[in-house]
C-alpha cells in the first residue's frame, strides 16, 4: 500500500503511523454496553453510519494517524490555523525550525501556466489562469528573488550570523517546511471536508487530496461516511 504521495513541485505527504481501524470506532462505541466485535460486520457498518450521521464523534477519536508533510509555508500556516481551531478533535504538531536547521532551502515555484488571477467577486481566493506570457515573467521574477535571498542568507551564515536571524533573508511564504501531524480520525475528516472544498486554496486542496488517498484505504467506512466533499 502506498504510504507517500508527491505534491506540487517538491512537496509530499507521507503516512508514517496508523493506530486503529474502522473496527476501533465500532468497539469504542460498543464499550458502553460491554460489547466487542472481532470482525467488521454489516451491523458494525450500520453503527458507523449512524454515529457519523447523528454527530456522535467521540468514537472516531479513538483511531489516530500520523503524517509527515513537506509543504510551502503558506500551506503549512493554513493547515496550522485549522489545527488551532480544532483542539477538541485531538491533534499534535511538530515542525522543523530554521533556528536549528540550515539545510539547503527548497521553494515552491509555480510554472508559467500555474499562476492564477484575482477573483472577481471576492477578497480572497483566486480566479482563472493568467496568460502564459505574464506567468513566465512572474516565474522568472520569483526565481530571481529567491536567488537573491539565498545568496544573502548564505553570506550571513558564512560570516557567523546566527541561523535564527539569517533566515530573515529567505522568502518565507514559498519556502518548504517539514512537519509531523498526528490527528484523530475525526480531525482528519474535518480537515478533509474543509480543504477539499472547491473554494479552498488550490495548493492546500492538493495536500488534502493526498491525505484522503492515504487515509481512505485504512478507514474506508468511516472516511466514506465522515467526508462528504467530492474528491
Residues known to be catalytic? 195
Give φ, ψ of 4 to 5 degrees: -145, 135
* 109 grid coordinates: 515555484
Give me the residue label for grid cell 483566486: 126
Contacts of 219 (CB under 8 A, 6+ apart): 20, 21, 22, 25, 63, 185
139: its cell numbers: 516565474
Rounded to whole angstroms, how far apart are CA atoms 1 and 218?
Answer: 10
Question: In terms of C-beta density within 10 A (0-12 exposed, 13-18 middle, 19 or more buried), how is residue 132 classed?
Answer: middle
Measured between its terminal Cα atoms, the distance across the chain in Å is 20
Q: Are strands 176-184 and 4-7 parallel, antiparallel or unpaired?
A: unpaired
Residue from 195, 184, 182, 193 nearest 225 by CA: 193
Amino acid at each position: 500500500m502506498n504510504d507517500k504521495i508527491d505534491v506540487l513541485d517538491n512537496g509530499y505527504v507521507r503516512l508514517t503511523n496508523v493506530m486503529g481501524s474502522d473496527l476501533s470506532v465500532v468497539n469504542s462505541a460498543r464499550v458502553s454496553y460491554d460489547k466487542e466485535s472481532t470482525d467488521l460486520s454489516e451491523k458494525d457498518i450500520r453503527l458507523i453510519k449512524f454515529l457519523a450521521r447523528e454527530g456522535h464523534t467521540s468514537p472516531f477519536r479513538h483511531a489516530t494517524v500520523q503524517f509527515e508533510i513537506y509543504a510551502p509555508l503558506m500551506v503549512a500556516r493554513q493547515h496550522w490555523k485549522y489545527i488551532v481551531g480544532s483542539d477538541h478533535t485531538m491533534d499534535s504538531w511538530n515542525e522543523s525550525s530554521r533556528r536549528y536547521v540550515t539545510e539547503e532551502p527548497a521553494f515552491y515555484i509555480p510554472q508559467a501556466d500555474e499562476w492564477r488571477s484575482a477573483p472577481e467577486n471576492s477578497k480572497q481566493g483566486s480566479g482563472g489562469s493568467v496568460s502564459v506570457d505574464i506567468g513566465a515573467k512572474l516565474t522568472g521574477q520569483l526565481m530571481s528573488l529567491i536567488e537573491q535571498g539565498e545568496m544573502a542568507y548564505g553570506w550571513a551564515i558564512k560570516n557567523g550570523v546566527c541561523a535564527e536571524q539569517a533566515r530573515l533573508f529567505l522568502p518565507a511564504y514559498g519556502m518548504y517546511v517539514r512537519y509531523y501531524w498526528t490527528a484523530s480520525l475525526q480531525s482528519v475528516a474535518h480537515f478533509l471536508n474543509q480543504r477539499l472544498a472547491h473554494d479552498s486554496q488550490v495548493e492546500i486542496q492538493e495536500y488534502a487530496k493526498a491525505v484522503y488517498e492515504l487515509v481512505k484505504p485504512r478507514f474506508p467506512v468511516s472516511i466514506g461516511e465522515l467526508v462528504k466533499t467530492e474528491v
